Structures are given as C-alpha cells and as structure tokens.
Copies of this chain bind each other. A is one copy, B any other.
Amino acid sequence: MRAQTTAEIKAIALKHLSEGGPDAVSLRAIGREMGMSGSAIYSYFDTRDALITTLINDIYTSLLDQVESARDAVPPDDIAGRIVAWGQAVRLWSLSNPQGFRLIYGDPVAGYHAPTGGPAPEAAKRACLGLTELAAAAWPRAKATQAFIEHQWSDFSPGLADTVREHFPDLPPAAVALALRMWGRMHGLIALEVYGHLGTQTGDPAKLYHAELLDLLRSLGLQVEHVRHPGTPRASA
C-alpha cells in the first residue's frame, strides 16, 4: 500500500529528526533503515524538500493540536487563563520537541525555502487565528493601555491578513498587532531556551517564562490572582 509506505517514510524521518536534528533527515539513511535504496524514496516524494515540507506541516499541526486543546481546557470567559494556557502549552511542546521547533521556526535545512506563492499552511492560519482570538477577547480591557498602537490592515502579509479579516471582520487592526506582539513575546524566551542561550539549569527558564506571561497579562489590564504557579503544567484554574 502506497499510503503505508509514505507513512513509514515520514515516521522514520521524524525519528531521525528528533534524534539528530534537521540535517539527520537524509533520504539515503531513511532508505537504508527501510531496506530500500535511497533513490526509491523518489517514488513517494519528489525531492527532499518535499519531505521536509510535509514534516513541517505535520509537526506544526501537532503543535497547534496541543496548544488549542490546552486553551480549550480553560473556560472561554477566563481570558487570562486561556492566554496563559496557550503560552505554557507552546513552551512545553517546544521543549518536548526542540528539533520540531527548530524545523518550524529556525533554519529548516540547507537551502530549503517554503513555496512562497502558495497559500499559507493550515497550521500557520490556526496559530494566527488562535492568537488573534485571544487578543480580540482581551482587547476591550487592553485598549486602555495599548491605545498607542497604530496599525493598518494593509501592513500584513496578504494571505494571512485575508484569513484573519474574514474571521474577525470588526476587529481593529491594533488588536491584530497585539496578537503578533503576544506571539513575539512568547516566542522570544522559548527560542532562547530551545537554542541554549539561557544557561543550562532546568528550573530557571520556567520561572522566567511564567513571569513574562504574568507581565503580559498586566500589559493587557487583566487580573492575575487566580493563575497558578508554574509548578503545575496547566497554568490556569
């Protein structure tokens, strides 16, 4: 069965990725492990970049599955809790799948470039929409402190901007900018931690990241009293 062989290729590629990083994903090595010739893979993927692209899609999707499920475990009216749950889920997934994080957000591999003309991947849309939803929910209160943001719809990448505008037709552009800044704020500490720039201790970055999330909530004018300490993974009551 063709689908099964394709799945096996992807599974072995994922294993090599998590064990040795993006550069360890080699068609010859995959074929070797499957008892096939390296060139046989070309019956299933046009090129190595095509395999990498599907890996990125799969991994990005798994990240968003986990993040959205963590967010949805918190009641919709607990905006602060949903934001913290989202942020903690992103970090925990990234620490559990550092190579996946590198593949999505870092240099995927030598000379790889995503299909620029094509539509934005589904997972990227979900990430953008999820963050925008959080920002939109927080916007009524955040407006007071974040009013200095000036932004326009036209500033955004066309594909994602259309998707966001379709889902949130009445949202002020400043709220979308807020979503991107929330993204950046979560991404910064996680990237530094994943790439080993925050030192070697394990407990410390968790405290640091939790403090950052609390400060983010404060920026949005949200209450923080009922948010749990980072000792527990799920960070909202």
A residues in contact (CB < 8 Å) with B: 20-23, 102, 105-107, 110-111, 145-146, 148-151, 154-158, 160-161, 177, 180-181, 183-189, 191-192, 195, 197-201, 203-204, 207-208, 211-212, 214-215, 218-219, 224
**CB-based contact B106/A177 at 8 Å:** no
**CB-based contact A201/B145 at 8 Å:** no
Residues of B within 8 A of A151 (CB): 204, 207-208
* Other 17 A-B pairs with CB < 8 A, given A110-B110, A154-B201, A180-B208: A22-B107, A102-B107, A105-B192, A149-B211, A150-B207, A151-B207, A161-B199, A180-B189, A180-B192, A180-B198, A181-B208, A183-B188, A185-B188, A186-B188, A187-B189, A187-B191, A215-B219
Residues of B within 8 A of A192 (CB): 105, 180, 183-184, 187
State how many angstroms separate the Cβ of A14 from the closest Cβ of chain B.
17
State how many angstroms separate the Cβ of A126 from the closest Cβ of chain B.
14
Residues of B within 8 A of A160 (CB): 199
State how many angstroms separate the Cβ of A215 from the closest Cβ of chain B.
6
